[in-house]
Structure 1
Amino acid sequence: MSSPQLFLDEPFRSLWAAQDPFAAVEALQGTVYRELEGRRTLRTEVAGRGYFVKIHRGVGCAEIVKNLLSLRLPVLGAENEWLAIRRLTEIGVDTMRVVAYGLRGSNPARQRSFIVSEELAPTVSLEDYCLDWPNNPPAVGLKRALIRRVAWIAGSMHRAGVNHRDLYICHFLLHLDSPPTPATLRLSLIDLHRAQLRTATPRRWRDKDLAALYFSVLDVPLTTRDLLRFLTAYFARPLRLVLREEEALLGDLAQERQRLQKRFARKSAAGEMT
């Protein structure tokens, strides 16, 4: 049996002194956001400060087989999120700060793990921040700065060999310590439990992330110039080269957008008829 992996920072280093961290994390109380047989997510408070806790109890052989037969990669525990956060922090991408992490067991079906991160507050998700843009457009400079920052985060992540697998704008948090301006805005990328890490991100997984991001801004009033601005910042290359070298990607994204728009139009029409 492999040795447990364990990282504890304050306040949990002191709070769990002389305790089994794997038992102590199970005893934490708070607001539960998700409760499944193999996973629990909650928000807890220690000394007036908020923390998010994810506990993985092993998914079981049946769940692993079911995911593989569906051509999906199962989430086996907290290790991928721990490693992804470390790598993003190394390259300067703002993300969660881990204060406790543990992994025990070598059998993926029975492995137990947990990760505790500081609550990022005050923040708002980009999805919520953009909701009123059709009625209340942001200042042009701020919108362009946000586009460039999202593009830089996505590009930096992919160039560092990380793909998110849930890259929607709801997983970008805008910090509100002070009113965001083009010069001071700060975005953090969260929810990395499905992330994959390699020495280089395969084109297939890069494009899946970009398609997800593109889909998540369908209701955000972005112009063609805004999208071109994103591509220039994401690829960090002149636009003329991007348009020439990434022609296949751009075609795929356009088709995916049309497909999703038609799909949701059909769903809306069906809802109105019932």
Structure 2
Amino acid sequence: MVDAPSDAGIRELDLRLADGRVVRARVAYTSQGPEDAPAYLLLHGYTGSHFALDPSGPAADAGWAAAWAGPGKALDTRRHRVITMNLPGSAYGSGWDGADRTHASVAAMADAACGLLDALGIARLGGVIGYSFGGYLALQLRAAWPSRVRRALALCSARQGRGSLDGLDALRRLDDPDKRYAFRVETLMRNGLTQWARDQGPQALARELGRVRQWAQEFTPDALWRLRAAAATFALPAWPSDTTALQAASDALFPPTADRPARAATVPTPYGHQGLLLDPDPWVEPIAAWIDGRDLSHPTHTGDTP
């Protein structure tokens, strides 16, 4: 198998903050696949990283999309150009000077994504795929920049953000890795990890908690509150056209509801919001169907909603 061309780095571009100021921001990214191939943008979740394709990457969640993105996978980097971007304000390379008390909205992040595409010479995306918080950004891109984004796939996400601005100070107080570890473990156990641990056993749980411990060293309280502030203020009046939602049946954070786009499907996983990460196999076929433009109907999940 021929390795796909790859690139990673940081681009500097203008970013408008929520308080109206424009700063020069650093945006970290990766690019894999032929430069002249159809381009797809892949966006991570609230506590995640943009090191989505390579399990050996420098982040606790590295390779989170490797089951379905990479050479020979559903999102094949031999015939697609796959861009990943670290969300502005996150902890893996995308930031700006004086960021301790400022954040960027989801709309501003979408503008930054377009700036990154400009810097990489990409005029139009074949599609954008976002998981959880990344789904907000995927939908915002499709809504605000339809001429640049042909379609969007939101994984375990919604058209309105979660969280409250009242909780920002509590996130700022997570100023020690042990505090962040406890915060993250409690969140994960409520959202799929408890059932997964019952099924997989104590050794598997210990390995997963080791990754959480690594995450607690890597992530920062500033990243937690900045992204939560962006999420709490995100809302779209309607689902953008040419968007698809793929949701987990047991997801308590983003449960499948009547408020779904015309194209939507549900994966019957017992692992809640973490199902895509802990048990990715049932997700591969519906994601592949979306990439290929096929009907998402498949024995492993419910078909398109009417």
TM-score, structure 2 as length reference: 0.21
Structure number with greater Rg is 1
TM-score, structure 1 as length reference: 0.23
